[in-house]
Amino acid sequence: MQPQLGLRIALFGPPGAGKGTQARLLCTRFGMLHISTGNILRRAIKEQTPIGLEARAYIHQGNLVPDELVRDLAEEAMRVSAFEDFVLDGYPRTCQQAEWLTGFLNRRERPLSAIVYLMLSDEEVVTRLSRRRVHKETGENFHLDYKPPPPEIQHLMLQRRDDQPAAIRHRLRVYEAETQPLVRYFSKAGLLHEVDALGSIETVHARVCALLQSLKGRLN
Ligand code: AP5
């Protein structure tokens, strides 16, 4: 039986900061539900659903998908969790999304517990994304240097289209313009917790766990 944290958190940070990697580790360790809007959208593209067809060009070019489309996906996933013990990864990332999310959860008396801000320089972002490879079936993220895929699954590795150099640069600009302003919004709400995302995957995981344990003590 996994320990329950009783927390509703969002991992926040630039592309490649390690949100997906850390979310997976938290979910394995604490049985939380991993809600990645990026993964949900990529699955929709693969399955050629109407949402996938609409989102495709935005994602491949490194632009944000329209708010209304992503909101429905996030809402559906949070309902599955019954609004307990979930980790949002990549949501919210615009002011409109942040306001909607806050109101939606507050009305259910299940407010967000924390925004965990994984802080990383642009230089390290580029290093991480340009050498990332993704398992085409499970969606797990690997890195050619930092987390090399085992030889027996190397043929299942793909490079994301938005991990090409031009798309990475564009995603960083979109992050600066549309997502970074949320730091102020969540800071004012008293929800923002900064975590240094530089260091090994295990080191960053330990920092995030220490933060969550301290929040659990304070909030539950
Ligand atoms: P999404 O998939 O969410 O992309 P992202 O936010 O750009 O983040 P990434 O998945 O690129 O990086 P990550 O922070 O998860 O890092 P990772 O753990 O993989 O979104 C993709 C697209 O979908 C968006 O551009 C947009 O179009 C659309 N979208 C999604 N959500 C949306 C929303 N809310 N609104 C509108 N549009 C939306 O790590 C990166 C690499 O580094 C990996 O190789 C990993 O192995 C390695 N790594 C991780 N941690 C470490 C470490 N500590 N040390 C060394 N290497 C590490």
pLDDT score, position 216: 83
Q: Is 77 in the pocket of ligand 1 (CB under 6 A)?
A: no
**Between 154 and 81, whose confidence is greater?**
154
Q: How many Å lie between the centroid of ligand 1 and the Cα of residue 163?
A: 10
CA separation (Å) from 201 to 48, 118, 141, 166, 193? Answer: 33, 12, 12, 26, 18
pLDDT score, position 1: 52
Length in residues, the chain: 220
d(C-alpha 118, C-alpha 88), whole Å: 13
Flag whether pLDDT at 82 surpasses 90. Answer: no
Residues 6+ away with beta carbon under 8 Å from 203: none
d(C-alpha 123, C-alpha 157), whole Å: 24
Which of ligand 1's atoms lies nearest the C-alpha of 22?
18
Percent of the chain's residues with pLDDT above 70 = 98
Beta-bridged to residue 86, according to DSSP, are 8, 33
- Which pTM does this prediction carry? 0.95
Which of ligand 1's atoms lies nearest the C-alpha of 131?
44
Mean pLDDT of 61-86: 93
pLDDT score, position 219: 64
Read off the pLDDT of residues 27-60 as tens digits, 9 standing for 90 and up.
Answer: 999 999 999 999 999 999 999 999 999 999 999 9
Which of ligand 1's atoms lies nearest the C-alpha of 147?
46
User: With b meaning 16 or more CB within 10 Å and e meaning fewer, what string describes 193-205?
Assistant: bbbebeeebeebb
Q: Is 185 in the pocket of ligand 1 (CB under 6 A)?
A: no
Mean pLDDT of 207-220: 86
Flag whether pLDDT at 112 surpasses 90. Answer: yes
CB atoms near residue 3 (< 10 Å): 9
Mean pLDDT of 115-121: 98
Residues 6+ away with beta carbon under 8 Å from 133: 141, 142, 143, 144, 149, 157, 158, 159
C-alpha angle 197-87-169 in degrees, rounded to nearest 5: 45
Q: Is 134 in the pocket of ligand 1 (CB under 6 A)?
A: no
Mean pLDDT of 11-22: 97
